[in-house]
A and B are shown apart, each in its own frame.
Chain A
Amino acid sequence: MAYVLQQLLSRSAKKYPGKEAVWARGRSLTYRELEQRSNQLAHLLREQGVGKGDRVGLFFPKCVESIVSMLGVLKAGGVYVPLDPQAPADRVCYIIGNCGIRVLITNQEKRQALSPETLELLDCCISTDQPENGNSGRMIPWSDLAEFPADRAPNGTSIETDIAYILYTSGSTGRPKGVMLSHQNALTFVEWCAEEFQVRSGDKLSNHAPLHFDLSVFDVYNALEAGATVYLITEELALFPTSLAAFIQEKQITIWYSVPSALMLLLLHARLTPEKLASLRTILFAGEVFPMKYLRQLAEMAPQADLYNLYGPTETNVCTYYKVERERLASMDKLPIGIACANTDAFAVTDDGRIARVGESGELCVRGPAVTYGYWADVEKTRKMVVPNHFQENFEEKMYRTGDLVTVNEDGNFYFQGRRDSMIKSRGYRIELGEIESALLSHPGVKEAAVLAIPDEVVGNRIRAVISLNVADSLKPLDLQQHCSTKVPKYMIPEFIDFHGELPKTSTGKIDRVKLKEETMAVR
């Protein structure tokens, strides 16, 4: 049994040295090459002072070096932090400061986006492309890897309870929060997937999700576990449905995993035929609700494939799953999120603290080795979400409160009902409306801001903001959208902005979001 993630690679490198491990942008690395490069990078990182538990940021668009970097950091004993290459510099700089990144793997273009204060925090940058001569600050070219030993990793003492990576997600108080995931957290999930989906060395896995998104954990580590090949789909390719469909066919992808909206884009615009998807044996989706209408279309387009709805927040990775029963598809009106994965316990807790009975609604809680320790450097937030399991009276045990309301139906499956708070999903991205409100309120001209999620069949939700200004007519929607663009990722910028004299209040003086939403929906 592997107990740290890098063992998955080392084992497959022994078994399948000449096999293609990763492909991206027309380049690929064999298992031997991936093992050797990541060994070399680990030595280089050690030389730069990276040791046990040190955070190393990865800030560049997806390419084969992304995978080398993830493994190299782990082999050095460090913790990797994938940073969204499309996020505004302000957010990336915040994360670098928040988790104390001192070594950053990046490229020249991305490095230039960082503030001087942030560059000041860094001991060094490793560049995936050659640095120009005369560049200020320390830039180590990727070609320096060649000077380090390839045949073995530095001596390490990592154990399964060490943190392997930190994934930042939207935070309700205006700043992203870092979910810490240990080797054990990740391996619990990877081992379940290996068994459930029977991933084999002949498989070709797609990687559609960005690497700072937890869906990518399956694509990368289950490929490594099985000695299979992972094909990284770049942001540019993901935008063009017909090209993406051609890619699946050309590369003969066998296992696909993405958010439903990516699959819907294919269904709506890729001129799909069953031949184009004929290589797919397994299609996994997670991150948002898949509308039944489109799921039925997908089932018809890929009659040979097993379809799975996976569910789980970053804090647990996938914790429940539902294998689509094709014979029930026609009559089903809502897709279940299913039952708990192996080695994971999931249960719904009612408002009065009982386990929900069949048909009753409750908050889904999760315990087991897949559950995060919590949020980096945020004890308060961690205490709120990773709480003592009060059903265990005789010793202390933790469980994670997902904030998702579910019911258990007679078929034994969990069904998602809604959220307890103001977190929403749009195109599978997890978004705290409070983070957008904070961004809007940080503009000096804004007096009040309420951000609403408007349900949309294809993308899940669209974002609309209602604003009251300090001085009427002093700002236009575009001014505020531009302001937001410096604070939050592009998918969080409100698509629509309405101005309002004074926002309606509830009896307790809070902004009445329910009323605002009703008004907004009525107008449309």
Chain B
Amino acid sequence: MIQTTEAKDQIRQYVLDEFAKTKGINQITDQEILTKNGIMDSMGIFRLVAFLEDTFKIRVGDEEITHDNLESVDAIERLVIAKSKK
């Protein structure tokens, strides 16, 4: 069973290190819309999904790669928790 806070920390750290920091953004909130202001680009989305699959041993289908599922750290965490319960 995935620990919620731990998963969220991992996701937030990954998004910060991989996407936000290189673009001059050093802090993000868990509600921040990642697709706004170009934090995440189209290639980044697929790198993020690969990271989620590896880290949390889940499988994210193409049809699940949507704005609603990936728009913020909170949304990503919800997706991860939902997937890992299945």
B37 at the binding interface (Cβ < 8 Å): yes
A461 at the binding interface (Cβ < 8 Å): no
Chain B residues, Cβ within 8 Å of A470 = none
| Nearest B residue to A458, CB-CB | B43
The complex places the Cα of A1 from the Cα of B46 at a distance, in Å, of: 48
A15 at the binding interface (Cβ < 8 Å): no
B35→A235 contact, CB < 8 A: yes
B37→A239 contact, CB < 8 A: no
Among candidates A88, A239, A271, residue contacting B63 with C-beta atoms closer than 8 Å: A271
A346 at the binding interface (Cβ < 8 Å): no
Instruction: Report A234 CB to chain B, min CB distance, Å.
Output: 9
The complex places the Cα of A458 from the Cα of B24 at a distance, in Å, of: 25
Interface string of B31-59 (1 = CB under 8 A from A): 00101111011110110000000000000
B63→A242 contact, CB < 8 A: yes
The total of chain A residues at the interface (CB under 8 A) is 27
B83 at the binding interface (Cβ < 8 Å): no
* Interface contact tally, CB-CB below 8 A: 65
The complex places the Cα of A266 from the Cα of B27 at a distance, in Å, of: 31
Determine, out of A143-151, A371-379, A400-408, A481-489, the stretch whose residues face the partner at the interface: A481-489
Chain B residues, Cβ within 8 Å of A486 = 24
B35→A239 contact, CB < 8 A: yes
The complex places the Cα of A209 from the Cα of B43 at a distance, in Å, of: 17
| Nearest A residue to B63, CB-CB | A242
A14 at the binding interface (Cβ < 8 Å): no
The total of chain B residues at the interface (CB under 8 A) is 23
Chain A residues, Cβ within 8 Å of B3 = none
B22→A239 contact, CB < 8 A: no
Among candidates A237, A243, A265, A485, residue contacting B22 with C-beta atoms closer than 8 Å: A485
Instruction: Report A439 CB to chain B, min CB distance, Å.
Output: 12
Among candidates B37, B40, B42, B67, residue contacting A265 with C-beta atoms closer than 8 Å: B42
The complex places the Cα of A238 from the Cα of B70 at a distance, in Å, of: 14
Instruction: Report B27 CB to chain A, min CB distance, Å.
Output: 13
A387 at the binding interface (Cβ < 8 Å): no
Chain B residues, Cβ within 8 Å of A236 = 33, 35-36, 67, 71
B62 at the binding interface (Cβ < 8 Å): yes
Chain A residues, Cβ within 8 Å of B35 = 235-236, 239
A239→B23 contact, CB < 8 A: no
Among candidates B23, B33, B62, residue contacting A242 with C-beta atoms closer than 8 Å: B62
Interface string of B1-44 (1 = CB under 8 A from A): 00000000000000000000111110000000101111011110
Instruction: Report A319 CB to chain B, min CB distance, Å.
Output: 28
| Nearest B residue to A456, CB-CB | B43
The complex places the Cα of A104 from the Cα of B43 at a distance, in Å, of: 32
The complex places the Cα of A241 from the Cα of B36 at a distance, in Å, of: 17
The complex places the Cα of A471 from the Cα of B75 at a distance, in Å, of: 43
A243→B21 contact, CB < 8 A: no
A491 at the binding interface (Cβ < 8 Å): yes
Chain A residues, Cβ within 8 Å of B66 = 240, 242-243
The complex places the Cα of A458 from the Cα of B41 at a distance, in Å, of: 14
A417 at the binding interface (Cβ < 8 Å): no
Instruction: Report B45 CB to chain A, min CB distance, Å.
Output: 6
The complex places the Cα of A478 from the Cα of B18 at a distance, in Å, of: 10
Q: Using CB atoms and an 8 Å cutoff, list the residues of chain B in contact with chain A.
A: 21-25, 33, 35-38, 40-43, 45-46, 62-63, 65-67, 70-71
8 smallest CB-CB distances across A and B, nearest first, come from A485-B24, A481-B22, A86-B38, A236-B35, A490-B38, A482-B24, A485-B23, A271-B62
A-B contact pairs, 23 of them (CB 8 A): A86-B38, A236-B33, A236-B36, A236-B67, A237-B67, A239-B35, A239-B40, A240-B45, A241-B62, A242-B62, A243-B66, A243-B67, A261-B42, A269-B62, A271-B62, A427-B41, A481-B24, A482-B21, A482-B22, A482-B24, A485-B25, A490-B23, A490-B38
